[in-house]
Structure 1
Amino acid sequence: MTLLFSKLLLVSVLALSKAKFDPIAFSVSQHAALSVKNETVLPYLHTITNHMNRNEISNGVFTSREGGKFKCQVYAVAANTKKLFLDIWHNDQRVASLYAHSPHYGSGGNAVVLSLSEGDTVQVKTRINYPVDLFYATNRIYNTFTCAQIGSEALSNDETAISAFSVTSNRYQNVKGGDSIMYNTKLVDINNGFNLHTGVFNAPTSGIYIFQFFSLAHQNEELWQDLFHNDQYVCSIKCVTDFEWTGAGNTVILHLNANDTMTVKAHAGVANYLFGKQDQIYTTFSGVQVITDLDMSFPESYPVVAFSVALTHNVTIRAGSTVPFDKVFVNYKNAYNISSGRFVAPASGLYEFNYHGRTSSGIVLYLRLMHNQRYINSIYDDIPGHQASAGNAAVLELVGGDEVRLEALGSIKKLYGDPNEIYCTFSGYLLHAIVPGEIIVGK
């Protein structure tokens, strides 16, 4: 046995011995219409996924059974003509906010990464003196709460093995076109990759990252922001409405090399007047290294599954048809079929999915997430005279060969897309392989 072979064998054994990361993860939903006038914790009584039944979710309050870093996101839709005003709380600290109001139905969302200790709580609350009416109808699930513990299967015993950040802004901002969006609070910054002075994330290590950004425009103002990887355009968020505040968000998965940068900027030539207060936190930017390059060094023990796709042209979709995304950011194991628009799980395990959509002007947005023939949740937005946008997420336990797709509902849908204006995205990745080394498809 050569010395080199011995060293490689030792590295493999050490890596395998650390393969203990099995994340706490759940997705729950509000499975009925809800109308409240006082501060109330949203109950989220319907469980979409509660991985291995390890999560303590009592009447909408998530209590962490162990310490760690968690990516948490909330999406909601207001009832017809009603308002949506929600906050995400970590213990007694408000960490992010959601707002929506439309002459018809308004959609809101936000996402943050939190550092939790054992016994810490995360919950979603309404506000004192702000009536909230959430929409629900049969097989129309919009109001969701998802949390997933972050980590690395190959390096689960090392808290700095993965890199992650989550930053927020709780103030007004007038951002000139082309300038970076600025943030003034760090919730998490593992490995010190985010610079609050510049608004730029510099990747400490290489790997696959998921990025999410959200913001809310001031009353009657346009919101238009672009995400850049180094100096390359990635995707956007954009919204406008009449005499109201309106927001948007997006999600993408990318492979970064060490020292690559990620920045959110106001679209060139378009000033962004962003709304925020000490107790109203809408502008957020988060990134998590979901798979390290070391994980990818042992693909048989740690299956690397991740995809992120987008729409770069306008498309008309009939009800029941699958959304035909045409741009691929990443597609490890070729699990996403660009021809069929379907993701086929290459291995059994726990996956997280995120999706966002935007329509042409005056068109209602109505898409749903499907797991095989099982309905999971939907996005919906309707802003008369303007383009509608919304997003949603879920963690799902899949068996190798299972399919996940997005399909249109209602009347014919006209989704908006352009190579320089990417709003419609669909992303997913494997959090944890239930059967290590199992590859069902695409071996």
Structure 2
Amino acid sequence: MMIRYFICVLVLGISASATSWFHSPSPSQVAFSAGLTHNVALGKGRTLCFNHIFLNIGNAYNLKTGTFTCPRSGVYSFQLSALTQKGKEAWLELTVNGKLIVSAWGRTGYATATNAVIVRVRKGDRVRVQARRHTTRLFGRADQVYTTFSGYLISARCSWTEFMVQARGPLVYFRAILPKDTTYGHRSTIVFSQVEANNGSGYNPSSGVFHVPIAGLYLMKCQLETTNHGTSEFFLEKEGSDQSVLTIQHHYSSKTMSVIIHLNVGDHVLVRKRYDIKTLHSSATSWLHSPSPSQVAFSAGLTHNVALGKGRTLCFNHIFLNIGNAYNLKTGTFTCPRSGVYSFQLSALTQKGKEAWLELTVNGKLIVSAWGRTDYATATNAVIVRVRRGDKVRVQARRHTTYLYERADAVYTTISSYLISAR
């Protein structure tokens, strides 16, 4: 089992001369987001058919077959999140035409399995989520949507040259993985040496450092998995300061950290191990998209422990960015300033011996859930939805008190969002 990536994408590119917006779709925009509202036992090799649609622009996702049939060639972003049943496992693969792209694994009961990837997909290609080698058992309820699958077209231009010629600025993104199990010591830099994409040539596979080629807002994702028992901690570092932290406690446990941050030309970004020595399967991705003057994006984190009562709103206290000033730290509310299609990503870490049960809501209505049950468990989910101007988006505790673990130098619980399209 190999879950290993580092992704970086420029969400907003900033230049002195002009701005552009790669996410802003034409009428031929493609985006979908689907969820599971019931338990599923998925046999080896079977395709997971999500039964609830949040969004299906282009009608390319088929609920009956569980297949996304690409309607337009281009660069696509895909995100997968799943929750296992009690005492069961989940081993899923995202495939294109039957070929493995990335995997997601959850071993302990009520464990979260997540992954994300950016790939070039051609018209007619079939993208599916499938069970790996044995039966995968997933937990779902009509009022608890933990397992989701989302994707959208970043750009219909498929080459670096096309981006430079046809767009008003370049697209920057890279995806890199660890090619095999690797052991790292205290404060070691995680070197994702196998590069699958490197538009903009910012990532150095020899050093594991991303050298920022264009100033702007970057969405960075990193998934890590240990193969040994015990606790490991990793952090995303920008110019010597921690930007996001991820803790892995269990044997063969996989976790994902995600953050949107502003980077300047020449900044260095890397992933380090804080302590412990473990063997890793891991990978990382990052990407950049260009801006429009009316772009909306925010990313916020938590820097202290929180005990959040039933129905209460989680107020993040640290802002990474807040373009449009739509996220309110005091109320914990994102008030949509512009109608459109938005991507939301949530991640949280439980306190020792405690649970976390969170919901992402729009105007008080449940969209997706995130659950972490065991000690220092990560609860994550992601969704793409259409939000109207004035709508209120919040992260709220579900039915009982949620206990979240944080420190000023260790930001585990985050929420990030950006406007994909105003159409």
Q: CA deviation at 1:20?
A: 5.6
2:285 is matched with 286
1:108 is matched with 113
Q: Which has the higher strand share?
A: 2
- For residues 363 and 20 of structure 1, do their structure 2 counterparts lie closer, same or farther at Cα, with a shift above 3 Å needed? closer
Distance in 2 of aligned mates of 1:152 and 1:232: 36
Q: CA-to-partner distance for each residue in 1:314-371, whole Å, 9 max, x for gaps?
A: 0110011111100000001111011100111111111101010011101112101101
Matched residues, number: 399
1:320 is matched with 311
Over the aligned positions, Cα root-mean-square deviation in angstroms equals 2.4
Which of the residues 71, 86, 97 maps onto 1:80? 86
Equivalent pair of 2:71/2:123 in contact (CA under 8 Å): yes
1:431 is matched with 420
Which of the residues 177, 186, 197 maps onto 1:168? 177
2:397 is matched with 408
Matches for 1:40-439 after TM superposition, within 5 Å? 40-51=46-57, 53-57=58-62, 59-102=65-108, 104-128=109-133, 130-151=134-155, 157-158=166-167, 161-241=170-250, 244-267=251-274, 269-274=275-280, 276=281, 283-290=282-289, 292=290, 295=291, 299=293, 303-383=294-374, 386-434=375-423
Which of the residues 25, 31, 49 maps onto 2:37? 31
- For residues 159 and 110 of structure 1, do their structure 2 counterparts lie closer, same or farther at Cα, with a shift above 3 Å needed? farther
Q: SS of 2:72's equivalent?
A: coil
- For residues 321 and 113 of structure 1, do their structure 2 counterparts lie closer, same or farther at Cα, with a shift above 3 Å needed? same
Unaligned runs of 5+ in 2: 1-16, 158-162
Equivalent pair of 1:209/1:253 in contact (CA under 8 Å): yes
Q: CA-to-partner distance for each residue in 1:157-213, whole Å, 9 max, x for gaps?
A: 339722111222242110112111122433322122212111121222111111111
Q: CA deviation at 1:152?
A: 11
**Corresponding letter in the other structure for 1:311:** L
Q: CA deviation at 1:137?
A: 2.1
**Corresponding letter in the other structure for 1:421:** A
Q: SS of 2:77's equivalent?
A: strand
Equivalent pair of 2:346/2:381 in contact (CA under 8 Å): yes
Distance in 2 of aligned mates of 1:36 and 1:20: 35
**Corresponding letter in the other structure for 2:324:** K
Equivalent pair of 1:72/1:146 in contact (CA under 8 Å): yes
Distance in 1 of aligned mates of 2:359 and 2:60: 26
Q: CA deviation at 1:223?
A: 2.9
Equivalent pair of 1:163/1:190 in contact (CA under 8 Å): yes
Distance in 2 of aligned mates of 1:195 and 1:208: 20
Question: How does the TM-score come out when normalised to structure 2?
Answer: 0.88
Distance in 1 of aligned mates of 2:24 and 2:348: 36
Q: Which protein has the larger Cα radius of gyration, Structure 1 or Structure 2?
A: 1
Equivalent pair of 1:224/1:272 in contact (CA under 8 Å): no
Distance in 2 of aligned mates of 1:25 and 1:145: 11
Q: Percent identity?
A: 25
Q: CA-to-partner distance for each residue in 1:60-82, whole Å, 9 max, x for gaps?
A: 22121112111111110110100
Structure ranking higher on relative contact order (CA contacts 8 Å, 6+ apart):
2
- For residues 54 and 136 of structure 1, do their structure 2 counterparts lie closer, same or farther at Cα, with a shift above 3 Å needed? closer
Equivalent pair of 2:24/2:420 in contact (CA under 8 Å): no
